[in-house]
Amino acid sequence: MRSSLALALLPLAQAINIISSNDDGWAEANIRSIFNALSSAGHSVVLSAPAENQSGSGSRDETPSARTEPCEFDSCTAGASYGTNETDTRLNWVNSYPVTSIKHGIDTISPQFFNGLPDLAVSGPNVGNNLGITVYFSGTVGAASYAAGTGGVPAIAFSGESGSPTAWNAEVPAYSTIYAELAAKVVDRVVAAGSPYLPEDVWLNVNFPAVDDTCTSADDFKFVLSRIFAAVPLITDDDVESCGSTRLPMESSVVRTDGCYVSISVGTSDKTDADATLQGDILQKLGDFLTCLP
């Protein structure tokens, strides 16, 4: 349930309309946790995600067909191509891939709730990180890159190292709650910087390190601007200057550095690193929300 206190504390200008999807399925704990966290922060959130786990589906897109068996975790009955939670119509499933699901959310569901396009798309948090080359195969990334490109909606893909697929009605794992809180922090910072929330055709790839004995609460984590792919010497153009360097750290090195560091990379809709100008736009937008690696 949305917190009335959170609504009272959040300025109306910062409460936005968000479409949510993933590739682990509409009934997986992480997507329900981020739905709750963003709703509690005052945002209006509508979920449109696959009926079952579609990890590794990349940017596949296929017309939904009628299910012949229940959704994952028995979260729906067989027989339909689309469905809605009986007690909360903001929770919706699509019997197809992540791209198809978020496309349905943007084109069909959002107008019903928002009277138009959503302000922002969020995908994930994925069960497992999406680093480097895996962005090409990730359905979570596929949904975000579609939203930012063809969908015309700024987007953020979230992924976390800890955990395994968990049902929506099981005890919520600590990592799921922490990742949702961290995702809400990123969203709120992006929104607080004002519209346009991201440059056109741009999405953010955000990867959380493991929740462990050192990183036990959302307050333990710090955020670092990074790049998705390794730069090729003498070929790859400089990145935006940050932390005294014109070469951003790779996101894989960020999440593997001791000290609870979250990587935030700037991608374009073709799933490659954005150029220094676009990186600079994000650097300016996030400001002191970001830190440097030790």
Could you tell me the sign of the dihedral formed by the alpha carbons of 264, 270, 274, 278, in that order? negative
**Strand positions, DSSP E, the chain:** 17-21, 44-50, 82-84, 91-94, 120-127, 155-160, 202-208, 222-226, 261-268
Give the per-residue pLDDT at 14: 84
Which parts of the chain register pLDDT below 70?
Answer: 1-13
State pLDDT tens for residues 128-177. 999 999 999 999 999 999 999 999 999 999 999 999 999 999 999 999 99
Active site residues: 159
CA distance to 115, 172, 181, 227, per residue, from 213 (Å): 45, 18, 18, 27
**Is the CB of residue 140 less than 8 Å from the CB of residue 157?**
yes
Is the C-alpha dihedral spanning 212, 188, 154, 83 positive or negative? positive
Q: What superfamily does domain 4-287 belong to in CATH?
A: Survival protein SurE-like phosphatase/nucleotidase (3.40.1210.10)
Do β-strands 44-50 and 17-21 pair in parallel, antiparallel, or remain unpaired?
parallel
Question: Distance between CA 136 and CA 17 in Å, rounded?
Answer: 27
Say what the pLDDT of residue 9 is: 42
CA 110 to chain centre: 17
Q: Residue 156: CB partners within 8 Å, gap ≥ 6?
A: 120, 121, 122, 123, 144, 183, 186, 187, 190, 198, 203, 204, 206
How far apart are the C-alpha atoms of 284 and 14, rounded to whole Å? 18
Q: What is the pLDDT of residue 22?
A: 98
Distance CA 284, CA 276 (A): 12
The single-letter code of the amino acid at 138 is S
